Amino acid sequence: MIQIRGLKKHFGPKEVLRGVDIDIPDGKTLCIVGGSGTGKSTFIKCIIRLLRPDGGSIMVDGTEMAHEEHEYKLSQIRRSFGYLFQEGALFDSLSVWENVTFGLPYLTEIPRSKYRAIAKEKLALVGMENVEELRPSELSGGMKKRVALARAIAAEPKYMLYDEPTSGLDPIMSDIINDLILDLKRKLGVTGIVITHDMKSAFKIGDTIAMLYQGKFIASGTAEEFAKTDNPYVRQFVEGSSIGPIKMKLRDLD
């Protein structure tokens, strides 16, 4: 279980997270929605400690991560996480199959002789075949995203952090990825935190949906509760309308 209390992060004078509180129970998927630049990626990067929070607490299975400074201890805690990067973050110098199996020697005891088969299996899961020998530069944006997802799930982590898993994918492939996230949860009990702008995805895969606005969660609930909420910020975001309090605030800033 992940418990977050009062999480704060600022970059220079800009406060990105202003005391975020949320619980993510085991086996559940939390979808975080919110406009661009509201701190969604910062939030999950703080959870896995790619960024150091300025305040608050992040408890992962009872272990405090927020203020752990020891590199070795952090690397041990990170072992239970998988992370899908927004742009894939594939290693240019390695082939697709080498990318997919990159983490296995560090995260698992699986013998190297099985790596090729694992790469093939994970790539098939994300709908990719006969691409093992290609380089990331030879792949389209959507293909890179899927290879990155195959890499993130290769070591079968307990927690998965998805940074916009369906952006750049066509609607059919987006739905396949959504099904895959659901499958990971159902079959392996993977706990997920998904950042998305895609409300259709959020409604399909999220056990809980939370909206981040101005550094805090302003609403959270099940997909049904979220769809029926009266919160004008949420309504505007769900409906994708340019008219509403979020736009007004931007006008104020301008």
Partner 1 sequence: MKKLTGFLGRFILDCATETGKATLMVRSAAFWSFKADIEWHQAFIQAVRVGVDSLPVTALTSFFTGMVLALQAGSTTRNIFNEPIYIGALVGFSLVKELGPVLTAIVVAGRAGSAMAAELGTMCVTEQIDALHTLGTNPSRYLVIPRFIACMLVIPFLTVFADFSGIIGGFMVAVLKLDVPSTTYTNDILTFMEIKDFMHGFVKTFIFAFMIATVCCYKGLSTRGGAEGVGRSTTSAVVISMVLVLILDYFATAVLVSIGI
Half-sphere exposure of 201 (CA within 13 A, CB side): 30
According to the binding rule CB under 8 A, does residue 90 interact with partner 1? yes
3 state DSSP class of 185: helix
- Residue 92 burial (10 A CB sphere; 0-12, 13-18, 19+): exposed
The C-alpha atoms of residue 124 and residue 135 are separated, in whole angstroms, by 17
The answer to the question of residue 28 lying near partner 1 (CB under 8 A) is: no
**Segment near partner 1 (CB under 8 A), from 14-22, 101-109, 202-210, 217-225?**
101-109
15 CB-contact burial (10 Å; exposed 0-12 / middle 13-18 / buried 19+) = middle
Give all strands of the β-sheet with 55-60 in edge-to-edge order.
14-24, 2-11, 55-60, 63-64
Decide if residue 81 touches partner 1 (CB under 8 A). Answer: yes
CB of 39 to partner 1, least distance (A): 17
Q: Is residue 71 a contact point for partner 1 (CB under 8 A)?
A: yes
Does 77 help bind partner 1 (rule: CB under 8 A)? no
Output the smallest distance, CB 85 to partner 1, in A.
Answer: 5
Stretch that binds partner 1, among 97-105, 115-123, 175-183, 232-240 (CB under 8 A): 97-105
Q: Is residue 95 a contact point for partner 1 (CB under 8 A)?
A: no
Binding site for partner 1 (CB under 8 A): 45, 48, 50, 71-72, 75, 78-79, 81-83, 85-87, 89-92, 102-103, 105-107, 151-152, 155
